Amino acid sequence: MGSKVIVIATDKGGDGKTTLNILLSSYICNYKLKEGENALLIDLDPQANASSYYIEMVHDPYSDVGGKKPARHPDADEIEGWDGVSSSADIFTGEDLFPYPTRLNNLSVLPAYASKLEDVERVTKQDVASLVHDRFKSKIEQLKNYYSYIFIDTRPSKGPLTTAAIKACTDLIIPTKMEAWSIEGIYGMLQVWKQETYSRPSDNPIKLVGFLPNYVLNESLHKDFLEEIRATDGIKDYVLPVELKKRAAYSRLIAETSDSGEIPKFFYELSAQDPARLEAENVCGTIYERIMT
């Protein structure tokens, strides 16, 4: 089986893309990677939340959205003629890539660099295919030779970067809150997926892994919506049979910035019976099974 390029995308912000991305990437790296296998996280979101989880990021004063850029690379002094900063934006400018190491010794990160990513998106409609989509796809093909799993975090939009990610991916997951605007937002992202299915040959399909009900609360609106999409013909087969609840535990994992290891940073560092850990294992395990079949 070839390398997997996993994209988590939504049209609407706040639906839990990044939370799912960090849970899934840490799950696969901790439980599923074999000896000698490596994984890469590429952050295409100028907000850089996924990058911040794994490596040190600093504020980017030139970003339109108050985004971040990576701190100096730990190997910066060893390489001459390099400014010591590498990011996902370099994929589009053709510069050499130096992924950052993380606490997980088999996971590296190509972090976001907010202002540079924002520049990449400022292309004309005519140029977007060649300058963004094709370049990204071509680089991913090369990276697949080195990484068994590539996780791509995106910003909530159907813009050039998100579309580039979808054009390069093997597996697409769409998390959604059980609320009206989030579910309506699925439609928009599905248009991008559908368009992409037209150009994929049968030996390189784009698999829609499914919709993950996310931030689910124990209240009637969420319960009703969840029950409804799980029962609707034509949709129910794509709704994952698991869900992620809204948990403070996940927020605490994200907030934890210490590298000491005393306070849990990864969900599998929580106690074995912790409901958050059990839920994350179950959800990520189900998603993993679907990706691998």
151 neighbors 189 (Cβ within 8 angstroms) = no
Residue among 145, 202, 273, 293 that touches another protein (CB under 8 A): 202
Q: Which is nearer to another protein, 61 or 234 (CB)?
A: 234
Stretch that binds another protein, among 43-51, 137-145, 257-265, 279-287 (CB under 8 A): 137-145
Task: Tell me how long the chain is.
Answer: 293
Expressed in angstroms, the distance from the first to the final Cα of the chain is 10
Q: Which residues of 143-180 are buried (b: 16+ CB within 10 A; e: fewer)?
A: bbeebbbbbbbbbbbbbbbbbbbbbbbbbbbbbbbbbe
Stretch that binds another protein, among 90-98, 149-157, 193-201, 256-264 (CB under 8 A): 193-201
List CB contacts of 52: < 8 A, sequence separation 6 or more.
Answer: 68
Question: For residues 157-176, which are near another protein according to CB under 8 A?
Answer: none
Does position 229 interact with another protein (CB under 8 A)? The reply is yes
Does position 194 interact with another protein (CB under 8 A)? The reply is yes
Where does 100-177 have alpha helices with state H? 114-121, 125-128, 135-143, 160-168
Residue among 191, 261, 275, 278 that touches another protein (CB under 8 A): 191
Does position 190 interact with another protein (CB under 8 A)? The reply is yes
x-or-dash string of contact with another protein, 140-159, rule CB under 8 A: -x------------------
**Contacts with another protein: how many residues (CB under 8 A)?**
38
Phi, psi of 39 (to 5 degrees): -130, 155
Phi, psi of 163 (to 5 degrees): -65, -40
Does position 200 interact with another protein (CB under 8 A)? The reply is yes
Does position 217 interact with another protein (CB under 8 A)? The reply is no
Question: For residues 39-68, which are near another protein according to CB under 8 A?
Answer: none
Beta bridge partners of 8: 153, 173
Which parts of this chain interact with another protein (CB under 8 A)? 129-130, 134, 137-138, 141, 180, 183-184, 186-187, 190-191, 193-194, 197-206, 208, 220-221, 224-225, 227-229, 232-235, 238
